[in-house]
Chains A and B, each alone.
Chain A
Amino acid sequence: QVQLQESGPGLVRPSETLSLTCTVSRGSISGFFWSWIRQPPGKGLEWIGYIHYTGSTSYNPSLKSRATISVDTSRDHFSLRLSSLTAADTAVYYCTRLNRTGGYHRFDSWGQGALVTVSS
């Protein structure tokens, strides 16, 4: 069973850029889509975007082009950069595998989540 693990800072200052990495183990990053989803404390889930292992991406327009997702197949990891942070970006950030086998879209594997707090 593929495993995902987020890493990055737990505290970031307003107006700065967040960088998170998701390391994929017990499986290869090749052949799949990979996604970031976030959840503000006590609230619901928001899809940020996804990337195919070949590098093609799609993002949620609600983030107003602040998000960038990249992939490094040689290291089996993918990353999220989110710029111009405000307190509203405080959330648990999850990396997930988006399995599109058979034409379905299954977020079938998730990291444990990384809490990111935006505060000065």
Chain B
Amino acid sequence: DIQMTQSPSSLSASVGDRVTVTCQATQDISTYLNWFQQKPGKAPKLLIYDASNLEIGVPSRFSGSGSGTDFTFTISSLQPEDIATYYCQQYNHLPITFGPGTKVDIK
């Protein structure tokens, strides 16, 4: 199985800050990577697919980049409604696997 790691596991930032989360795969997954946002008590929501494509309706302050084994997810200007846990997920090889999540909150 491909293992996904994320760092940091949690972070606190101020409103308006730029926030960056990294995700690393144990094997080359090309750009077959998605990013999800999960708010407490809610289902995950797809934000980014194929490493850098913004899902329809998702604000442009969210972005993703990377290929191979190293990926980055960025919130360009953190908003109060962005408080959530963010997960990366690979689909290059079965089984589909998720990262452990990064919890983002407001300082």
B102 to chain A, nearest CB (A): 11
B49 touches A44 (CB 8 A): no
Residues of A within 8 A of B55 (CB): 106, 108
Residues of A within 8 A of B43 (CB): 94, 110-113
List which A82-101 residues lie within 8 A (CB) of chain B.
94
Interface size on A, residues (CB 8 A): 19
The CB with the most chain A CB atoms within 10 A, among B43, B46, B53, is that of B43
A108 to chain B, nearest CB (A): 5
Asked if B59 lies at the interface with its beta carbon under 8 angstroms from chain A, I say: no
B32 touches A45 (CB 8 A): no
A58, B98: Cα distance in complex, Å = 17
A61, B97: Cα distance in complex, Å = 12
Asked if B71 lies at the interface with its beta carbon under 8 angstroms from chain A, I say: no
B46 touches A62 (CB 8 A): no
Residues of B within 8 A of A60 (CB): 95-96
Question: Contact partner of B96 among A44, A47, A108, A113, CB < 8 A?
Answer: A47
Task: Enumerate the 6 nearest inter-chain pairs by beta-carbon distance, A residue then B residue, closest first.
Answer: A110-B43, A105-B91, A47-B96, A60-B95, A45-B98, A106-B49
A–B pairs, 23, beta carbons within 8 Å: A44-B87, A45-B44, A45-B87, A45-B89, A47-B98, A58-B94, A59-B95, A61-B1, A62-B95, A94-B43, A104-B49, A104-B50, A105-B32, A105-B49, A106-B46, A106-B49, A107-B34, A107-B44, A107-B46, A108-B46, A110-B43, A111-B43, A112-B42
